[in-house]
Structures are given as C-alpha cells and as structure tokens.
Amino acid sequence: MSKKVTILIVIALLAVAFIVWRVSESNFEFLETTPPGFLAGQVTIGPFCPVERPGVPCPVPPDAYSLRQVVVYQTDGKTLVAQKNLETDGRYSVQLAPGDYLVTISPAGIGQLPFKNAAIKSNQITKLDFDIDTGIR
C-alpha cells in the first residue's frame, strides 16, 4: 500500500471520528438530567390498645411500620413510580425525579387512605406525613 493511500485512510478515519463525536455530543444532551428531589415523612399508626388513656399510648410494634409501604404514583393515580417499606419507627424517604405525584401508604388500616399530592423539586426535601387509624376502640 502506498504512502498516499495510507495518509488518505488516516484522514478519512479522523474525519469520520470527528463527525461521530459531534453528532453523538448533541445526542447525549438527554443524559444531562435535573438532580432528583426527595419525599420524606413520618407515618403514625394507632391506637393499638382497646382502651388508651390520653397521654399514655400503647407502644406500636415495629412490624406495624415495616410491613407497610409508601407508594408513589404518577398524577393519573395508576402508574406506579416507587414503593418502599417504612422504617421500623414509621419514617420514610424516597428519591424522585422533580414533578408532581400522588402518594399513599399501603396497607392503610381502616379503609384505604386517600392519595396526598406531592410536588418534588430538585435538590429539595418535600415533607409528607400520614396518620393511620387501626380502628381499635
């Protein structure tokens, strides 16, 4: 192979590499995402005794929390985005993309908890607490 042909092949390869680089650079803009935000809160559950006196609540068993999940849906209320078990003390935290969501706790207790709206913003924590009534009286 002559020196001219080799030089032409190298130039052609460099040109192709440059074109691919420029095209791919613009095609990867979608990877530059907005940083996520967080949804966090506390779930309270009770009562746990048939008769509770004011100021003297029965202790909540840890599995009453850890067997429940925070469930996050798109605003259509059907498209599941995330679900995560609660901590044994009822706390939760979920990382989400910025946007609007509907959130609930499952299982809820008596009946189903209504959805709560959550607006997640980049690099911020949105606080959303829930109270679950066990129905024990």
pLDDT tens figures, 34-88: 899 999 999 998 888 887 777 787 888 889 999 999 999 999 999 999 999 999 9
* Mean pLDDT (whole number) for 11-36: 67
Comparison of pLDDT for 89 and 110, the residue scoring more:
89
Which residue's entry shows tokens 């530059």? Answer: 32
102: three-class secondary structure by DSSP: strand
Q: How many other C-beta atoms are found inside a 10 Å radius of the C-beta of residue 118?
A: 19
The yes-or-no verdict on residue 94 having pLDDT over 70 is yes
Q: Is the preceding peptide bond at 47 cis, omega within 30 degrees of 0?
A: yes
Domain boundaries, the chain: 1-32, 37-133
H helical segments located in 28-71: 62-66
Residue 13: HSE in the Cβ half-sphere, 13 Å Cα cutoff: 6
**Residue 55's pLDDT is what?**
79
Taking domain 37-133, whether its CATH number is 2.40.160.20 is answered by: no
